[in-house]
Chain A
Amino acid sequence: MASRQAYPKIFEVEKPVIGYARFGRVLKFNKYLFMLQLILLVVVFELLVIFFLEDYFKILSDIARRILEDSYTGSYKFLSFKLEYSIPQGRLPTLQESSIYLLVSSLSLIFLLSKFNRLSKYISAWLIYISFVYFVSSFYFVFFLGSFPYTERDFAMLYILQQTGVFLFTPILLALSLSLFTFSWLNLPLNAITIALSLTYSSVFGGLRYIVFAYTLKNLSYIHMPAMFFLFGPLLDFIYMVSFYSLCLYMTTILLQKRREVFYEWGY
């Protein structure tokens, strides 16, 4: 009898631990927790954004007024929000300036597209994009200077729209991506911290960017305005958002590595 009991014991001791191999593993998933996380994260952070939106632009306007001399204050009505801004008068480029930009951007495009370009292709790709935006912009100001359709006030409004969009979009995108992880009570606070960090960074970065842009329009010229939206606009916001996402993912995988058998399971 004793030996019969001993056999399975020995067998169990000798049995190797079979982990869930990566080809067939899935993550443990709780659909209720998923929905709860998703709704909670989106609702809470969207409410916070809505609650602080007017105050944020008011503070930004105050700071901009102090830093940028000769700026005037206005407001933009977005839905039911009254969003304040301060902006100094912008400056149109002279024909000479535009011509120099046109020449430089054309030459750099020719160089980047030529066989003499020894730069790495991914760096070249970005430089081509930057040169192209400046080429189009300077071309416009050389030939259609009088038709430029924007004032500094328009710029401020557009920036407000863009930044508001980033604030509203970030919680949704991150909540959709992060709510997938539902295997620990730590997931919810971890995900919430990630969204909070992204929004905080966005507030500071967005504010700084506004002041730099406004300063550029005042002291340099409108020739840089397309670059502000098409190079240093939402693309940059996307990068830091993905950075915070990957940080959260790293923390999540640390959790998984510690107790992998608890969080993985066979998907068959």
Chain B
Amino acid sequence: MGILIFLLKAYMVFLMLLLFLYIVRHYFFTLNRAFGKQRLYYQDVLDEDLPTVSVLVPMHNEEKVAKHILDLLVASDYPKEKLEIIPINDHSTDRTKEILEEYAQKYPFIRPLHRYGDLPRGKQNALNDALKIAKGEVIIVYDADYLPPKAQIRTLAIAFKDPRVGAVMGRVVPINAGKNLLTRLLDIERSGGYQVDQQARYNLNLITQYGGTVGGFRKSVVMELGGFDPRILTEDTELTYKLYLNGYKVAYANIAECYEEAPEDWNARARQLRRWSRGHNRVMFKYFLPTILSKKLSFWQKVDGLLLLAIYMQPFLIFLGLLDSLLLFFLGEMEIASSYLFLLFIFAHNSFGNFAPFFEIGTALVLDGAKQKVFLLPLMFFEFIFNIIYTSLGFVDAVIDLITKRTILWQKTERFRNA
């Protein structure tokens, strides 16, 4: 019994230290973003010799949103002779195929790719197939619900003038933020994640994350690195690590804001969170050791890279911490555990929102000039247990995937927009 109690206490100490490390990291990011010198993006580079670009838009049953994104991409000011748009129809059973064909007939630079039959479904598989036919030097990816502004392709593509840039990422802003409590909470989470977290990592030359949409990558590099792993649902996180481990960097364009449709329904959000966690944790299993051993990464990049890899494991560790606390309670170790009750305080602190502490999101809102949105901060409490449950389930999925090597099925996020 003594050994069990010792192990339970040791786990609590480990968890407390780990969470404290995350708090320090987020605090440092917040200070850097709010007051530090910001790293310039490439938006001021003027060059007529723009790279050729292929815009890939993976779609599975996207009849509600397909026309919106295609209209906006057609209106893009990027030179049409250097642009091709490849909407990837991935096993759609609704009107997506007809819509794409309609646009392809009208605009010669729209070349849809239809995937049916035995071809495996999923964004990573769709991108792999599209890469085989894409002619652009630079690949820009948008999810089908995104609404890119006119000048955005140029803003993103210009970063590739720098040969060290392997990928680029823009800022995601929910268009339906005012719809309900969930979309409002996701909106402020996105503020924290992009306005502070991503920009600070870019400033500090740490691991800026490529997010798989409103972003792009250098085609030759990705082909050279073997494309996307079909067993991993978060191809974006995987690409981030592949690039950094091979000496490339990801540029962050805070100026390149693009509207997305945030999930309006908690069921859709639960599925999305679980999928992200499953994919992200698979990336963690694959890249944890290579990150430690890498000769291309600096010490601080390794530290940040490892903490970023473990971010979707954090809620599972917190879940174990809650079980641990309950066990200690009933084993009569509460007097010692009572100091661990502060852990609950720190749990909440670290798990409000999408694992970013409240002050990071709060500071992002001040930087954004948002006023009433700050009152939503305490309401992130609603997400606390929700995030722990669905992210932990994603972690368990990833462990089972790893052990059983089972086939992974992609689950698309439901759209809520009226066609």
On chain A, the number of residues with a Cβ less than 8 Å from chain B's Cβ atoms is 59
Nearest CB in chain B: distance from A202 CB, A: 12
Question: Which chain A residues border B182 with CB–CB below 8 Å?
Answer: 122
CB-based contact A180/B31 at 8 Å = yes
Measured CB to CB, the closest approach of chain B to A168, in angstroms, equals: 10
For the complex formed, measure the closest distance between the CB of A24 and the CB atoms of chain B, giving whole angstroms. Answer: 6
Whether the Cβ atoms of B362 and A226 lie closer than 8 Å is: no
Cβ of A180 and Cβ of B30 under 8 Å apart? yes
Instruction: Tell me how many residue pairs across A and B have CB atoms closer than 8 Å.
Output: 172
With both chains docked as a complex, state the minimum distance between the C-beta of B61 and any C-beta of chain A, in angstroms. Answer: 23
Complex Cα–Cα for A233 and B326 (A):
13
> Across the two chains, which residue of chain A brings its CB closest to B40?
A268
Name the residue among B257, B334, B339, B382 with the largest chain A CB count within 10 angstroms.
Answer: B334
Is the Cβ of B325 less than 8 Å from the Cβ of A22?
Answer: no
Say yes or no: A246-B38 contact (C-beta < 8 A), given A125-B386, A238-B349, A253-B370. Answer: no
Interface presence of A260 (CB below 8 A): yes
Chain B residues near A21: list those with CB within 8 A: 255
User: B338 contacts which of A149, A161, A181 (Cβ < 8 Å)?
Assistant: A161
Inter-chain contact A229/B341, CB cutoff 8 Å: yes
Contact B383 A234 (CB under 8 A): no
Number of interface residues of B (CB under 8 A): 65
A24, A136, A157, A176: which has the most chain B beta carbons within 10 Å? A24
| Chain A residue, CB-CB nearest to B362 | A249
Tell me if B190 counts as interface (CB < 8 A to partner A): no
Q: Which of A3-11, A92-100, A126-134 contacts B (4 or more CB under 8 A)?
A: A126-134
Cα separation A256 to B349 with both chains bound (whole Å): 26
Chain B residues with CB below 8 A from A56, complex form: none
Q: In the complex the two chains form, is B374's CB within 8 Å of A234's CB?
A: no
Q: Check B367 against A250 for contact (C-beta < 8 Å).
A: no
Partner of B341, one of A162, A253, A257: A162
Task: Check A157 against B36 for contact (C-beta < 8 Å).
Answer: no
Q: Which residues of B contact A140 (CB under 8 A)?
A: 330
Known A158-B335, A238-B345, A242-B377; judge A26-B36 contact (CB<8 A).
yes
Q: Indicate which residue in A22, A23, A226, A253 contacts B374 across the interface (CB closer than 8 Å).
A: A253
Contact partner of B366 (CB less than 8 A), chosen from A27, A229, A235, A267, is A27
In the bound assembly, the distance between CA atoms of A26 and B388 in angstroms comes to 33
Please indicate the chain B residues that have their CB under 8 angstroms from the CB of A169 in the complex: 342, 345
What chain B residues lie within 8 Å of A27 (beta carbons)? 34-35, 366-367
Known contacts A136-B326, A157-B335, A250 near B378 by CB under 8 Å: no
Q: Which residues of B contact A (CB under 8 A)?
A: 27, 30-31, 33-38, 40, 171, 182, 195, 254-255, 257, 266-267, 269-270, 322, 325-326, 329-332, 334-335, 338-339, 341-342, 344-345, 348-349, 352, 358-359, 362-363, 365-372, 374-378, 380-386, 388-390
Please name 7 pairs of A and B residues whose Cβ atoms are closer than 8 Å in the assembled complex, sorted by A: A23-B255, A122-B385, A128-B385, A176-B359, A230-B329, A252-B366, A268-B37
Q: A238-B345, A245-B377 are in contact. List 9 more A-B contacts (CB 8 A).
A: A23-B254, A122-B382, A126-B385, A161-B339, A165-B341, A165-B342, A165-B345, A176-B27, A267-B38
